[in-house]
Chain A
Amino acid sequence: MAQIWPVGGGKGGTGKSFITGHLGILLARQRFKTLLIDADLGAGNLHTILGLYHPDRSLSDFINKKRLTLEETVLETPVPNLFLISGDRNKLDIANLAYEQKNRMLRAILKLDYHYILVDLSAGTSFNTIDFFTLSDSGIFVCCPEPTSVENFYRLVRSVYLRKIRQILKTYDFRKLAEKAEARNPNAVINNPEALLDILKEIEPEKGSMIESLLQSFQFKLVLNQVRKQDNPKIGIFIRKVVEKHLGLNIQFLGNVGFDERVHDVLCNKGLFTDKYPYSQTAMDLKALAKGIVGATFGEDGNRALPLPDVNTLSG
């Protein structure tokens, strides 16, 4: 089964699509069959990062018109082994998916046959975004070392957390629990899912510890993007510590990606940053990230799932 890695981050402009696109390229070049899905439904632009300007198929062909199966919407990209389901040409009202449409999409994604599926998500904490995280119990959060971004990152993590608790408990249980929690701490339900869990562990220890262990199985990764020289390089590690300590979630810090002025120029000139400046700090950081992801999924040796041999790179 494919490794599904949703990429989100709470705030817009943190570089989710940039990271997703470049990770996809780097994984594909390591001969992992990789699919990128642009699920930033209202504002997708992964195709632009990859240099596909007017794709003739997109996710909406699957979602709305039911004209194509999800597999039929897959586009080839200029990079061997890298495939894309574009978010271009989506209808303008597509950002508001009905529950059924969303579930149909999630089920279809689970059936696809790739080594890696990276799903580029929209900013914010709508259910469209959150459900991708709860679906795969994994995900990559892209965050910048700025107060606004860190703030929204915590919000996203807490929303995922709360959503998962809600999904596990039946509706009735949840309401009962929420009322009890509300009585003790008026902020608990809205702002503080970890307090909710504490209260649950107290009143129903069995369910509480079950949920706790399910939450422990989340495999979240954190990437700190656009890190400037003057930023504290340990912020990512600190965020990991705080999340572990206060939210009880395991988050692996994958690393910093350095800020580079030239990213802007490369985007404007419609090129790939890692190709244009392969030895820049940013490009090296991205390569280290890709390595970290392979290491996290296949172990250090990376031998468990052999990458597909790729005719194009072999002959070239």
Chain B
Amino acid sequence: MKRPAEKTFYDVLGIEFDASSDEIKRAFKENHQLYDEDSLVSYSLFSKEEREAILARVNEAYSTLIDEKKRSRYDQSLMETGVLKEGTKSQNGRRATPLLPDSERPRNNTILAIRDELKARVSSSAVIQEILGHDVLRGKDLKKIREELGVSLEIVTEMTKIRSIFLHAIEEDQYEKAPSGTFLKSYVKAYAQSIGLDAASVAGCYLKGMNG
């Protein structure tokens, strides 16, 4: 158990360093369910002062993390004090700063437009068509297609909402790190769809490569 003073805003809300804004909102709501004055769960556990202190901290954490600018400043300060390490980022799938600057972040209504553009590029690229002609697709093939299209893994993460470690595992054929069975299949489908490929056939070819 960390002492109150050692707790980061992420600890306070009970979320990971790479939590999305939806997760932050959900955690905020849940924390109020836990600590509000009339909460069945905690009313008998804390004194009035303790409860007020906890709620103040929850509110402070929320208002900092929900604001992208304040959040990245806060993450920066965590890194400076060594609480959040750059090195731990890739292992735990944590990110210290937002994946993409706000302006570049694909919004829901733009995702479809991006996908249409990518579909056009897929059909016009000889390299990609050559790869797609294969019976079996490996992770490195997918990676090659993605790089050929000039799409970063971060963008795929944004569009599919699949954690980057899983996408990474798919590209590296590291099946032990990837989720199993049905999940893997649907992740590959989502990956393929996001970069303008035919989801079902790509997933089929990928699973063939995995079993063979």
- Interface residues in chain A, defined as those with a beta carbon under 8 Å from any beta carbon in chain B: 145-147, 150-151, 154-155, 187, 194, 197-198, 201, 212, 232, 235, 238-239, 241-242, 245-248
Contacts and interface: CB of A to CB of B under 8 A. Distances in A.
Given A187-B47, A246-B45, A248-B1, A241 B40 contact: no
Interface of B: 1, 3, 14, 30, 33-34, 40-45, 47
B42 A242 contact: yes
Contacts of A145: 40
Given A198-B3, A238-B33, A147 B43 contact: yes
Contact of A151 (B14, B30, B34, B44): B44
Contacts of A242: 34, 41-42, 45
A145 to B, nearest CB: 7
26 contacts: A146-B40, A147-B43, A150-B40, A150-B44, A151-B43, A151-B44, A154-B44, A154-B45, A187-B47, A194-B1, A197-B1, A232-B40, A235-B40, A235-B41, A238-B30, A238-B33, A238-B34, A238-B41, A239-B41, A241-B14, A242-B34, A242-B41, A242-B42, A242-B45, A245-B1, A247-B1
For the complex of A and B, list the 5 residue pairs with the smallest distance between their C-beta atoms, beginning with the closest. Answer: A248-B1, A151-B44, A238-B41, A154-B45, A242-B42
Contacts of A239: 41
Nearest to B5: A198
B12 to A, nearest CB: 9
Contacts of A154: 44-45
B45 A201 contact: no
Given A145-B40, A147-B44, A241-B34, A212 B1 contact: yes
A250 to B, nearest CB: 10
A23 B44 CA distance: 29
A198 B2 CA distance: 9
B41 A201 contact: no
Nearest to B54: A246
A300 to B, nearest CB: 15
A147 B43 CA distance: 8
B209 to A, nearest CB: 31
Contacts of B45: 154, 242, 246
A235 B40 CA distance: 8
Given A238-B33, A242-B34, A245-B14, A201 B3 contact: yes
Nearest to B33: A238
Contacts of B43: 147, 151
B74 to A, nearest CB: 20
Given A151-B43, A154-B44, 9 more contacts: A146-B40, A150-B40, A187-B47, A194-B1, A198-B3, A235-B41, A238-B34, A241-B34, A242-B41
